[in-house]
Structure 1
């Protein structure tokens, strides 16, 4: 497995003309402590990227640098063609941010707040129509409520609405579905796909929910020890950890398990030999969680 891990896709994306985010040699020190050590990656227009990593890996620092909220010690960073450290109001109007929580709008009513925030974007771009946005995040029945009367899940939906009210070209999502019930989570996933597919919004997502990352992101970046240690699709990363698929089946009440690189050919052979006697067939590859844990443990060692 160690040999396979060394072959994981790393910064595999070539330089591209449509890059929305370009990072090269990014370093960040807090006094003597080095948090980021030569981080580099690029994100193309319309991509949905998940940035994963253990606590303390540097995810929040990286995102804050990209958003222009934090300086850096060294390296080149361009977001929407601009150095975030020098980004002005017109540049910021092209970016949406959904933080883990907002705490300063309690007395506003939902519809009034979103309409008010939308006005700030009008000099630069047309914001989402307020009622359309409220419907998109599932708050239609609560549009007249004060924010401090919303439940935790409803408040989180409002956080998402605040982040996308200005129709951002680039959207940063920090643990966006924390506190969501299963239906709200599914609705949010549909919204992310809509933003990416229909509006060509580029999305950079940070989450500890690996199932969510696998459902939303076409590409995964894993940050560990202050650097990007893996970069690729969930399937690419899984194959880097193990090229074998695990095939499980039962026959005459007996359970069988077999590992193979060519699951399709193996299953065809099973049915050719045993036909309808094959039951409970399952083909399983390493999940994103399996892959993530293998990569992080290797880096920690």
Structure 2
């Protein structure tokens, strides 16, 4: 399974043409590490890293602003003789800059992880009179959480996997907005819509540890076929999802019936519970009771035709 691409926003100030060019090349090389970087001039706005040429006249002001905003920095200056974490000498190579970018971008968010439920999932679970629309931003990622329609809106180039990869990062910020503001200022920038169901099943694939666990031995059935994003749901999951749609199962029984790892089945149960699709009050099917009636067979055949699969030849996830 490929690690989802993570998105970052890097600002720069005080660099000459040589170092600007090398920074662009170094940033582009991060794609090999599944890190997508957006470069921009420093304006004081939120970003993941500031690359600053300390020999420039604007450097002291920018450094002070970055420190006040708690933005990590990579400084380049003639005064430095050798590379060190967070600083490079004038004339630093593309490789030098690339190594520093990789270290600084990955170290900052992983050292300080939020304890508890990620901000996006807190908003998704909000009830009562809370505002329905929330604009979330983390580095280069901007999204909208719409609790009224139980969906999130994303930019054209951002995937659910991008969001899930950084879901528990502490750098997310949120602000409530109203519908007219969204329509006039953000709707054209956030044209993708994904349901909370698709989000939770994507989390189940890439970051299942972020989902609350259901009761260990509770049987479960799906209320309805979940709204799945094909890019984030492996084809090997479809038989298990179809079985859960048809009738209640316990995790061990479903894992045996579908020839799937127990932890993969448990991830599906977690996604169903988190998305509100889980029904847990009906008797479960035991591992030895696997007879499919005509209605089940017709439904499984529909799934097979829909996804171009032979669902009755189980394979490991």
When Rg is computed on C-alpha atoms for both structures, the one with the higher figure is 2
TM bucket (normalised to shorter chain) is under 0.3
Q: Output the TM-score relative to the length of structure 2.
A: 0.23
Give 1 or 2: higher strand fraction.
1
